[in-house]
């Protein structure tokens, strides 16, 4: 049971939120130009990260607004919360980069 | 029956308050302060039930939550609770408990024959059984079903209520023994908000079972002083008789509080149990330790107990578990039990110590007290089955792996064994904390954790009283200082009086006999699931190298006690069998709940009418008075049909259908989802969300839309109307409204934040009355003068504002029934009065209220789909034959690209078709499986299934829709729906059965 800080409402129980899978997956600009495999990749494929994962949440039982979170899926530590359209903080990017190389 | 084993003096019981209770129908008595277990022992009863697999007689082993055996069925009828621990039930007047897993009684049990066939019931018996040929299953099913399960579930609704509480705290301390009380005292002095939790009915933890002194006074006085001090502090909450059952992420803890002294009954006006959901800034685990048994041959006989339990019964309850006791130990601590029994006047036959020349202070005291101490020896056999008559002991070899010399027999009726103590690391493990192996005494202690947590005292592997008091104090101070809180004046730390030094344990996981394990008696590890040393060794031989696999294969530690006493010895046996160390083998993961939690407590108030909210339309009471039957549509309650006196469901539905087809009927359509969509980009947004074109819909017009998921599958449908420039009203299915709103919001917020569109749910703002049938126009015309109902002025798929019955209204001319139909939307508060007025005025037309069932029949006659009935998340608009609504011109919409994926363009996909039964009177079952050719018996190749099926009164025949592989190209083919007792033949036809030209709804 996580304690999640909604960027609009503040700290709330996880039960108020819904999970919205991996973040930063943009809908392709021109789907018709994609091959079946490329479209399937957008449609079905999501990362299954052990470590820092960028994901979307929505405050379903609150302000109903979407936002992004960086969560360590191993420890369930929520490392950063940032709004839709924003990029994760630099230090989070650095952590993900480091995770890749190690 | 007399309390034959009750001491004259001592214990924390009130001898002036006698309590009568029943066990297996026999009347007995105990005292206030007893548990059921202590009262049974006082009455000389220690045959409590039969074991799970072998049905061996079993008795009380412990005095606490770790109890594996003493499970009872508490009370009867609506208040019965299965698998309650006799050691955890405070005795109350009239308590009615009975044995589980035995028939007809624990002393004579017919299934005990299993014990004689134990070679047929080895480890993995169930797995092996399931892998045998199907024919074998027939033989064993009866046996397994009878043997499975402990106790009985209640068959009546629970008579009690339960509730839930949310709480926040700076520091939550779990366990109110010496370390927990010390921690609470230190933390409370800083002004922190503290919650102190203990599963027992009194504070004190292990101190309640001991004869310790603190600050030169009996420990109970110190406990009372600390309790008084904490009670006086308004920032401290003490929860007794409350178990911390789970410790979750981000320092979230689940507590189960027994609110009544009487564990089976709620008290007047009070809930019986309460689940507390607590979020803590810091958690202190002062959960103590559980004594582990020595694993000797036939260590499950009634009377084989833990050494610590013997002194708990003597010191706390004034009961001697037996008449003649033997202590069997590998450590000094168990000598306390011998000493306490002796000083209470009970007989201690001897102490059998596996160590050579034990020399600790407590050993010396025992010898001084005249207790025989037999060193370097092992119990190699227990005599007697329902009751112990004695033990056989032999000398151990130097390596402890064998016994030698001549056996000696000692007469006794009770054995208290001690193999040392295991810290209670369960909660620490729940929240992903690691455990560290401490080799010197062979225990797992709490290691690294992700939580803001610390363990202290015995829970931390610090077993002496002085350590517990000091570590608790430190934990309290440290937790608060991490929160930036310090005490102005630190409270004094309790000082253990005359703490003795103890000499090391001798770790001996398995007590040998003259034969290998399993050949001379049984060495039980998990008494509740009947798992023996031989079972674990067999699992290792059969290749189960992972502790997690061996656990599931043998079921070690998988009973309701989760192996609190037997797990660590079991893992040690597995390690030895695999030739590796215990830390190499590791432990299984402890998971919540720490001890069983009732379903009632987890449900709380969310039962009966509070299970799920019920949404009612403004016309609800009218429907109820009209005698409708209800259908639940998500949370909405909708009229299903309105039977008249003596009518069957089919009679009523046929009557309602004919009324709509021939004159006029009215449906309460309030529940349809309504989403108000506004903003300069509203049309563009609709264009992206729906499959058809929306940019040119003029104000005053309505259009049907189909919404797909990005995977191309139909997700929802409904009519959307253009209310004005940049203003639309979308309708959704009744059940789909919240999902569709969330779906639209998601796209707007996450993908297209540049679109200026605002969404508002207005479902409950309007009451919607659907008037349908050839007389709908004439009837409506009586109620409005400012809406021109002429078909030219007000055609199908348009809407008009005006007044209906003097009420401001918006009327949509849309149809789901295939008839001339108007949906009248008025403010919700006016719905009932307008409904009543129209019903009264419509009498001359025989106006008939109709429900969802009639609506479903009428739309099926027209071949209109219901999302969720004709579709199931795997159906595209093309599959439905609705390609007419999928725009070929729009460059993109949600789901478009998926409609040209390799899988969605297969030509053998299932298509929506109609079915006509060979016998028109035969109505197909919905969900019926369809085959192209029948065989005498299954399996048959299924090519589809029936999605909708009704009797059509208008057509005087049955109608059905179905999804059939390549169905559109099979028109005219005969297919079959095989049933248990017959096969129904039908012909594939077009799904539109009634008025295919649509002249009725357009007219």
Model confidence over B911-935: pLDDT tens digits?
A: 999 999 999 999 999 999 999 999 9
Q: Which of B120-129, B209-218, B288-297, B937-946 has the lowest mean pLDDT?
A: B120-129
Interval B514-547: pLDDT, tens: 999 988 899 999 998 889 999 999 999 999 999 9
Contacts of B891 in chain A (CB under 8 A): 32
What pLDDT, on the 0 to 100 scale, is given for residue B383?
96
| Of B324, B330, B323, B328, residue with least CA distance to B307 | B328
Give the count of alpha carbons within 13 A of B883, CB side only: 8
pLDDT band at A102, cuts 50/70/90?
very low
What pLDDT, on the 0 to 100 scale, is given for residue B103?
63
Interface contact A56-B750, CB threshold 8 A: yes
Among the partner residues A3, A26, A64, nearest to B279 by beta-carbon distance: A3
**Residue linked to tokens 């009872």:** B72
User: Who's near B900: CB < 8 A, 6+ residues apart?
Assistant: none
Helix (H) or strand (E) holding B15: strand B14-23
pLDDT band at B999, cuts 50/70/90?
very high
Residue of A nearest to B709 (CA): A43
Residue of B nearest to A84 (CA): B750
Does residue A100 register a pLDDT over 90?
no
Interface contact B745-A56, CB threshold 8 A: no
pLDDT band at B1003, cuts 50/70/90?
confident
pLDDT band at B120, cuts 50/70/90?
low
CA B922 to chain centre: 43
Interface contact B750-A66, CB threshold 8 A: yes
Among the partner residues A26, A27, A85, nearest to B753 by beta-carbon distance: A85
Among the partner residues A26, A32, A76, nearest to B897 by beta-carbon distance: A32
Interval B663-681: pLDDT, tens: 999 999 999 999 999 999 9
Interface contact A43-B891, CB threshold 8 A: no
**Residue linked to tokens 């308050």:** B17
| Strand partners for B496 | B214
Contact residues of A toward B, CB < 8 A: 1-3, 13, 20, 26-27, 30-32, 34, 36, 39-40, 43, 56, 58, 60, 64-66, 75-77, 84-85
Is the pLDDT higher at B54 or at B730? Answer: B730
Mutate which: B250, B738, B876, B894, vs A, most A CBs within 10 A:
B250
How far apart CA B600 and CA B604 sit, in angstroms, is 6
What pLDDT, on the 0 to 100 scale, is given for residue B114?
65
Does residue B194 register a pLDDT over 60?
yes
Q: Pull the structure tokens for residue B784.
A: 């409005």
- Shortest Cα distance, chain A CAs vs residue B560, angstroms: 24
| Of B82, B427, B86, B71, residue with least CA distance to B245 | B427
Does residue B639 register a pLDDT over 70?
yes
Interval A30-82: pLDDT, tens: 999 999 999 999 999 999 999 999 999 999 999 999 999 999 999 999 999 99
Q: Is there a contact between A70 and A56 (Cβ–Cβ < 8 Å)?
A: no
Residue of B nearest to A73 (CA): B249
Interface contact B749-A66, CB threshold 8 A: yes
pLDDT band at B129, cuts 50/70/90?
low
pLDDT band at B594, cuts 50/70/90?
very high
Residue of B nearest to A32 (CA): B897
What pLDDT, on the 0 to 100 scale, is given for residue B95?
96
Does residue B215 register a pLDDT over 50?
yes
Mean pLDDT, chain B, whole residue set: 93
Q: Where are the alpha helices (DSSP H) in B209-255?
A: 219-231
Q: Which of B194-208, B217-231, B588-602 has the lowest mean pLDDT?
A: B588-602
- Shortest Cα distance, chain A CAs vs residue B614, angstroms: 18
Contact residues of B toward A, CB < 8 A: 248-250, 252, 277, 279, 432, 450, 710-711, 742, 745-746, 749-751, 753, 891-892, 896-898, 901-902
Interface contact B751-A27, CB threshold 8 A: yes
Q: Average the pLDDT over B969-992 and give the result.
A: 95
pLDDT band at B859, cuts 50/70/90?
very high
Q: Which of B115-124, B305-314, B321-330, B890-899 has the lowest mean pLDDT?
A: B115-124
What pLDDT, on the 0 to 100 scale, is given for residue B918?
96
Does residue B110 register a pLDDT over 70?
no
Interface contact A84-B248, CB threshold 8 A: no
What pLDDT, on the 0 to 100 scale, is given for residue B299?
97
CA B657 to chain centre: 44
Mutate which: A3, A17, A27, A78, vs B, most B CBs within 10 A:
A27
Residue of B nearest to A60 (CA): B742
Q: Average the pLDDT over B76-89 and give the result.
A: 92
DSSP tag of A28: P
| Of B335, B110, B749, residue with least CA distance to A56 | B749
Strands in B139-287 per DSSP E: 162-174, 194-197, 213-214, 217-218, 236-239, 242-248, 252-258, 273-285
pLDDT band at B145, cuts 50/70/90?
low
Q: Is there a contact between B573 and B509 (Cβ–Cβ < 8 Å)?
A: yes
- Shortest Cα distance, chain B CAs vs residue A100, angstroms: 23
**In this structure, what is the dihedral angle of CA atoms B507, B509, B515, B519, given to the nearest 10 degrees?**
170
Interval B731-758: pLDDT, tens: 999 999 999 999 999 999 999 999 999 9
Q: Is there a contact between B787 and B804 (Cβ–Cβ < 8 Å)?
A: yes
Among the partner residues A1, A31, A66, nearest to B250 by beta-carbon distance: A1
Q: pTM for the full model? A: 0.91
Q: Which of B105-114, B460-469, B913-922 has the lowest mean pLDDT?
A: B105-114
What pLDDT, on the 0 to 100 scale, is given for residue B265?
83
Burial of B700 per CB tally in 10 Å (0-12, 13-18, 19+): middle
Q: How many CB atoms lie within 10 A of CB B97?
A: 24
* Cα dist from B670 to B55, B153, B774, whole Å: 61, 42, 22
- Shortest Cα distance, chain B CAs vs residue A33, angstroms: 9
Strands in B605-672 per DSSP E: 629-633, 636-641, 665-668
Per the CATH hierarchy, to which homologous superfamily does domain A3-101 belong? Folate-binding superfamily (3.30.2270.10)
What pLDDT, on the 0 to 100 scale, is given for residue B368?
97
Domains in chain B, start-ordered, CATH in brackets?
A: 1-156 (3.10.20.440), 162-289+423-482 (3.50.50.60), 303-419 (3.50.50.60), 514-578 (1.10.10), 625-899 (3.30.1360.120), 907-1003 (2.40.30.110)
Mutate which: A11, A31, A41, vs B, most B CBs within 10 A:
A31
Q: Average the pLDDT over B864-869 and give the result.
A: 95
- Shortest Cα distance, chain B CAs vs residue A101, angstroms: 24
Is the pLDDT higher at A4 or at B264? Answer: A4
Contacts of B252 in chain A (CB under 8 A): 1, 3
Contacts of A43 in chain B (CB under 8 A): 710-711, 898
């Amino acid at each position: 049971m996580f304690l999640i800080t909604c960027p609009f409402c503040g700290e709330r129980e996880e039960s108020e939120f819904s999970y919205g899978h991996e973040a930063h997956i943009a809908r392709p600009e021109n789907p018709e130009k994609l091959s079946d495999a490329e479209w399937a990749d957008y449609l079905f494929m999501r990362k299954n990260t052990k470590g820092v994962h960028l994901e979307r949440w929505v405050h379903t039982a609150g302000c109903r607004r979407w936002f992004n979170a960086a969560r360590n899926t191993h420890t369930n530590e929520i490392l950063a919360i940032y709004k839709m359209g924003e990029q994760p903080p630099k230090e989070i990017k650095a952590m993900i980069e480091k995770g890749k190389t190690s | 029956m007399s309390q034959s084993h009750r001491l004259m003096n001592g214990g924390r019981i009130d001898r002036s308050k006698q309590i009568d209770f029943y066990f297996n129908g026999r009347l007995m008595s105990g005292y206030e302060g007893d548990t059921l277990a202590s009262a049974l022992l006082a009455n000389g009863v220690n045959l409590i039930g039969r074991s799970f697999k072998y049905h061996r007689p079993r008795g009380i082993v412990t005095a606490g939550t770790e109890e594996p055996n003493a499970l009872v069925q508490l009370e009867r009828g609506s208040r019965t609770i299965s698998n309650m621990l006799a050691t955890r039930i405070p005795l109350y007047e009239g308590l009615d408990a009975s044995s589980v897993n035995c028939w007809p009684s624990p002393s004579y049990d017919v299934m005990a024959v299993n014990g004689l066939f134990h070679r047929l019931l080895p480890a993995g018996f169930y797995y092996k059984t399931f892998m045998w040929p199907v024919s074998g299953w027939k033989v064993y099913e009866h046996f397994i079903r009878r043997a499975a399960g402990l106790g009985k579930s209640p068959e009546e609704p629970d008579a009690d209520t339960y509730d839930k509480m949310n709480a926040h705290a700076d520091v939550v301390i779990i366990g109110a023994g010496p370390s927990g009380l010390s921690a609470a005292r230190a933390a409370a002095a800083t002004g922190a908000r503290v919650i102190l939790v203990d599963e027992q009915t009194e504070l004190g933890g292990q101190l309640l079972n001991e004869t310790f002194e603190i600050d030169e006074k009996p420990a109970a006085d110190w406990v009372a002083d600390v309790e008084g001090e904490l009670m006086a502090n308004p920032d401290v909450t003490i929860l007794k008789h409350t178990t911390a059952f789970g410790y979750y992420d981000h320092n979230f803890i689940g507590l189960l509080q027994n609110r009544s002294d009487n564990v089976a009954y709620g008290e007047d006006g009070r809930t019986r149990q309460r689940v507390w959901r607590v979020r803590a800034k810091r958690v202190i685990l002062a959960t103590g330790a559980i004594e582990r048994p020595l694993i000797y041959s036939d260590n499950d006989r009634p009377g084989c107990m833990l050494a610590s339990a013997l002194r708990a019964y003597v010191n706390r309850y004034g009961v001697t578990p037996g008449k003649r006791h033997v202590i069997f130990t590998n450590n000094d601590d168990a000598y306390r039990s011998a000493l306490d029994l002796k000083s209470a006047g009970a007989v201690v036959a001897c102490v059998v110590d596996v160590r050579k020349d034990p020399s600790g202070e407590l050993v010396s005291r025992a010898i001084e007290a005249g207790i025989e101490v037999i060193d370097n020896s092992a119990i190699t056999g227990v005599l007697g089955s329902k009751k112990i008559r004695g033990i056989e002991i032999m000398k151990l070899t130097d390596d402890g792996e064998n016994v030698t010399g001549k056996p000696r027999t000692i007469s006794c009726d009770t054995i208290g064994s001690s193999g040392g103590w295991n810290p209670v690391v369960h909660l620490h493990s729940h929240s992903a904390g690691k455990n560290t192996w401490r080799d010197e005494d062979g225990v797992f202690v709490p290691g690294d954790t992700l939580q803001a947590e610390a363990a202290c005292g015995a829970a931390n592997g610090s077993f002496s009283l002085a350590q517990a008091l000091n570590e608790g104090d430190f934990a309290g101070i440290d937790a608060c200082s991490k929160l930036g809180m310090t005490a102005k004046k630190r409270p004094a730390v309790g000082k253990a009086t005359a703490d003795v030094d103890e000499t090391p344990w001798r770790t001996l996981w398995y007590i040998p006999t003259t034969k290998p394990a399993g050949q001379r008696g049984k060495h039980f590890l998990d008494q509740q699931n009947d798992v023996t040393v031989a079972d674990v060794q067999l699992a290792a031989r059969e290749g189960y190298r992972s502790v997690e696999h061996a656990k599931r294969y043998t079921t070690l530690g998988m009973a309701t006690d989760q192996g609190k006493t037997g797990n660590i010895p079991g893992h040690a046996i597995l390690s030895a069998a695999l030739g590796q160390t215990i830390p190499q083998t590791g432990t299984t993961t402890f998971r919540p709940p720490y001890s069983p939690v009732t379903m009632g407590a987890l449900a709380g108030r969310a039962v009966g009418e509070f299970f799920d909210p019920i949404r009612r339309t403004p016309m609800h009471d009218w429907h109820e008075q009209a005698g409708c039957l209800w259908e639940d549509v998500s949370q909405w309650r909708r009229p299903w049909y309105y039977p008249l006196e003596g009518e069957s469901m089919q009679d009523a539905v046929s009557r309602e259908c004919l009324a709509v087809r021939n004159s006029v009927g009215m449906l309460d359509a309030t529940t349809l989802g309504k989403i108000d969509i506004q903003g300069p980009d509203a049309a563009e947004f609709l264009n992206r969300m729906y499959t058809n074109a929306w940019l040119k819909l003029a104000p005053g017009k309505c259009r049907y839309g189909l919404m797909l998921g990005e995977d191309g599958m139909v997700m929802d449908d409904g009519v959307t109307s253009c209310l004005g420039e940049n203003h639309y009203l979308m309708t959704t299915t009744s059940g789909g409204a919240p999902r569709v709103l969330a779906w639209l919001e998601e796209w707007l917020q996450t993908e297209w934040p540049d679109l200026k569109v605002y969404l508002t749910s207005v479902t409950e703002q309007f009451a919607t009355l659907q008037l349908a049938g050839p007389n709908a126009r004439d009837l409506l015309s009586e109620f409005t003068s400012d809406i021109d109902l002429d078909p030219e002025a007000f055609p199908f798929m348009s809407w008009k504002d005006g007044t209906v019955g003097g009420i401001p209204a918006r009327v949509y001319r849309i149809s789901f029934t295939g008839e001339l139909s108007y949906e009248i939307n008025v403010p919700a508060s006016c719905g009932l009065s307008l409904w009543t007025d129209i019903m009264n005025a419509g009498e001359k037309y025989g106006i008939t209220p109709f429900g969802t069932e009639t609506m479903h029949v009428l739309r099926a006659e027209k071949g209109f789909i219901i999302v969720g009935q004709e579709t199931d998340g795997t159906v595209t608009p093309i599959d439905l034959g609705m390609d007419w609504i999928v725009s070929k011109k729009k460059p993109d919409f949600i789901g478009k690209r998926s409609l040209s994926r390799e899988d969605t363009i297969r030509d053998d996909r299932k298509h929506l078709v109609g079915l006509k039964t060979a016998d028109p009177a035969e109505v197909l079952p919905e969900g019926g499986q369809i085959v192209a050719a029948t065989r005498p018996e299954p399996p048959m190749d299924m090519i589809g299934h029936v999605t909708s099926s009704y009797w059509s009164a208008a057509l005087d025949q049955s109608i059905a829709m179905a999804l059939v592989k390549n169905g559109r190209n099979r028109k005219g083919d005969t297919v079959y729906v095989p049933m248990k007792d017959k096969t129904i033949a039908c012909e594939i036809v077009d799904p539109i059965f009634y008025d295919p030209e649509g002249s009725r709804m357009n007219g």
